[in-house]
Amino acid sequence: MTTPAAPASPAASAGAPGPAAPLARIAQHALFEARGLLSNGEQLMVAILLPVGILVGLVLLPIGRTAGAAPVDTAVAATAATALVSTCFTSQAIQTGFDRRGGVLRWVATTPLGRSGYLAGKILATLMVHAVQVVVLGAVALALGWRPEALGLLAAVPVWLVGTAAFGSLGLLVAGTLRTEAVLAVSNIVFVLLVAAGGIAVPAQSYPPLLRAVVELLPSSALGDLLRACLAGGEVAAGALVVLPLWAIAGTMLVVRSFRWTSV
């Protein structure tokens, strides 16, 4: 004798909506994260206004120029690297650090989004902010006389993606291992040092031999060299092709191993 089927619940019969599909949840979270980055005054300054100021300054001042390249070309390369580091490292570290202190990371693990969805949303949000940066900085650069070559732009895309992985993982590493107060200080200080003396504004080749050997090991120097090669016709540094991916791999491994979802 078979057991009669239980009647459907009113909610099921009415077609009550369940949790959103995973991709939809990630997309919604990414939009939320991107809006948070672009609506916060401090983060907007770091992600957009500061790179624009650096772009204009490097065009006008004889700093970090590549022989045989137009000043605006080297300025665009340095500014692109600055914008990437500001968003992937500094902004990501600060925002994630405050989320961690506020218990958001612990709470999100209990939601349908989950930890993996949270991280995927952050990655997608970073790419969204990058798109805004490219549009704004590209428009300013074109107004300053920049005339990019299609092949150079295409070559810069994989460099940009590997750089995003490298500095994004380092930003998460800082956010997930330090106290929030330390995250704020470390992320800002490191950002300034990398841009000013880490091979972005001024190429490592401009430093004395001993210091140059140290700077060339930094991910910022590798990123700056590769973007200058793509966007300003600079020489491709073989070491940079190795250094930047190694930082991306090492940073990701350290995040997986060391990231703490709750504040200490």
Statement: residue 228 has pLDDT above 90:
yes
Q: Is residue 223 part of a domain?
A: yes
pLDDT in tens, 120-133: 999 999 999 999 99
* Domain region containing 48: 22-257
How many domains does the chain fold into?
1
Report how far residue 118's alpha carbon sits from residue 105's, in angstroms, rounded to the nearest whole number: 8
Question: pTM (2 decimals)?
Answer: 0.88
In a domain, 14, yes or no: no
Residue 16 lies in a domain: no
Encode pLDDT of 231-243 as tens digits.
Answer: 998 788 889 999 9
In a domain, 41, yes or no: yes
Q: State how far the Cα of 211 lies from the Cα of 225, in Å rounded to an integer.
A: 16
Q: What is the DSSP string of 12-79?
A: HHTT---SPPHHHHHHHHHHHHHHHHHHSHHHHIIIIIHHHHHHHHHHHS--SPPTTS-HHHHHHHHH
Both tokens assigned to 232: 């300003």
49 within some domain: yes
pLDDT digits (tens, 9 = 90+) for 48-104: 999 999 999 999 988 878 777 899 999 999 999 999 999 999 999 999 999 999 888
Segment (H or E) for 264: none
Assigned domain for 159 exists: yes
Whole-angstrom Cα distance, residue 179 to residue 214? 28
At residue 197, the pLDDT reads 93
In a domain, 5, yes or no: no
Q: Is residue 9 part of a domain?
A: no
Which residues neighbour 188 within 8 Å (Cβ) at sequence distance 6 or greater?
90
Q: Identify the sign of the CA torsion 246, 248, 249, 251.
A: positive
Sign of the torsion formed by the C-alpha atoms of 168, 169, 174 and 177: positive
Distance CA 142, CA 144 (A): 5
